[in-house]
Copies of this chain bind each other. A is one copy, B any other.
Amino acid sequence: MERLTAMQYWDKKQKRAQRTQQKEKALDQTVLEIIQCVRNEGDQAIRSFTEKFDGVSIEAFMVTEEEFNEARKSVSPSFIKAVKTAAENITQFHEKQLEQSWLDMSKAGTMVGQKVTPLDRVAIYVPGGKAAYPSTVLMNVIPAKIAGVNHIYLTTPPQADGKINPYVLVAAKEVGVETIYKIGGAQSIAAFAYGTETIPKVQKITGPGNAYVASAKKWVYGDVAIDMIAGPSEICIVADETANVNFIAADLLSQAEHDEEAQAICITTSIKQAEAVELAVQEQTKRLARKVIIQKSLDQHGQIIVADTMDDAFAIVNDIAPEHLQLMIAEPIEKLGAVKHAGAIFLGNYSPEALGDYVAGPNHTLPTNGTAAFASPLGVYDFMKKSSVIYYDKSSLLAVANTIIELANTEQLTAHAQSVQIRKEE
């Protein structure tokens, strides 16, 4: 990890190129061709891309009830119990996000408001590969369910044996997903964005994926909604002398294990603590299974920043706009007001990032790479949309008729003006 003072942080920032999204033309072109191929050739294109990229030939895309049952037998009861506990907390939190329609009738003769309705059909992408991500299933499906989405389709790439990871299947069944497809990559994003003979066109696609999936989501954005373009993941821990150094190290490492691009940052007001954290990070890394990834992440992106004051520390936090922010300081709740930009804020010594990743209730799908300055965690609001409602009676319209006509004529939209004029003259 690199050690910096606050001043060095700001100085370095000036010189550093922003970690913006890669405009990888070659990848983007490949993905666009995959998308166009799926639009033109439908299921047949999906089958050949699945053979090419996943190395498996599949006839039926949909997971059968039999496969569900088989998966259920292969997982432990303690896993199922853990999924149930997590699902319960996630449900309880997200139910509080449900918005209501409202109507303002404060002016007689008029009514304006906002009608809130769920999306009809959404697709949730769950990454495949070696690892299983049942928590991704819970964090995407539960808010969609609470929103009232009628059709929730889950899609995930098949393994080499043509099956789906059993943990993903069991988690999906546990939260009531009816339909799961064995398709991955850009081809699955294209299929759900435009529909094929057997794949339904949806209104929104959410969930994380590799570079192909991210590029495909960006291409189809506008024709369907997407959740976000996820970038590298990061943690920022603000610590004072009350923080447990071993906890700080463990939490930094939990972030660094994600991948080599992940970033772990600790901001402290004490040089002594900075030194202790560095030592603890070194010690703990040795014992971890993913130490090779962790070491690369720390070498490339790890930072320990020593700030003179807490104010300096929070200025840096708000500049970083971290995905995960842990406040391991004496009065963390009192400092909530100082945080302007963060995906999720973890308070105190006993609220590690891993708590929020799995079980606390809030969503673990968070804006990454500084986008917390303008984006929100995934939520029920991502699966609902609003319609404005406008009612004016005759006299209420006539009272504002001249205002409308004035503005419409200014904009040279004379048929707009006429549509009001005709009602005046009636």
Contacts and interface: CB of A to CB of B under 8 A. Distances in A.
Interface in A175-223: 194, 203-204, 218-219, 221-223
B97 A416 contact: no
Contacts of A128: none
Interface string A18-48: 1011010000000010000000000000000
A369 B147 CA distance: 23
A383 B99 CA distance: 17
A153 interface: no
A415 interface: yes
A125 interface: no
Interface string A279-290: 000001001111
A302 interface: no
A358 interface: yes
Contact of A385 (B284, B375, B390, B417): B375
Interface stretch (A1-9, A267-275, A305-313, A395-403): A395-403
A215 B406 CA distance: 33
A343 interface: yes
Given A347-B390, A358-B407, A418-B254, A114 B97 contact: yes
B257 A414 contact: yes
A386 to B, nearest CB: 4
Nearest to A193: B20
Interface stretch (A49-57, A65-73, A154-162, A331-339): A331-339
A78 interface: yes
A172 interface: no
B247 A390 contact: no
A373 B418 contact: no
A342 interface: yes
A391 B426 CA distance: 63
Q: Please indicate which of the listed interface residues A130, A366, A391 has the most CB atoms of chain B within 10 Å of its own CB.
A: A391
A289 to B, nearest CB: 5
A343 B407 contact: no
A386 B339 CA distance: 11
A86 B340 CA distance: 32
A183 B81 CA distance: 58
Interface size class of A (residues with CB under 8 A): 35 or more
Given A120-B340, A390-B346, A406-B79, A254 B354 contact: no
A273 to B, nearest CB: 17
Contacts of A97: 114
Nearest to A219: B23
A11 interface: no
A144 interface: no
A169 interface: no
A112 B420 contact: no
Interface string A387-413: 111111110110010111011101111
Given A353-B419, A355-B400, A420-B352, A344 B388 contact: yes
A120 B132 CA distance: 38
B341 A375 contact: no
B388 A423 contact: no
A140 interface: no
A164 interface: no
A376 B386 contact: yes
B374 A362 contact: no
Contacts of A133: 411
Q: Please indicate which of the listed interface residues A222, A247, A287, A400 has the most CB atoms of chain B within 10 Å of its own CB.
A: A222
5 contacts: A86-B407, A112-B360, A256-B415, A350-B423, A373-B385
Given A366-B388, A373-B385, 17 more contacts: A18-B194, A18-B223, A85-B403, A134-B411, A218-B222, A225-B375, A256-B415, A333-B391, A336-B389, A349-B394, A350-B423, A354-B404, A355-B420, A356-B388, A358-B403, A358-B408, A381-B381
The 5 closest A-B pairs by CB, nearest first: A362-B388, A203-B374, A344-B388, A347-B391, A222-B229
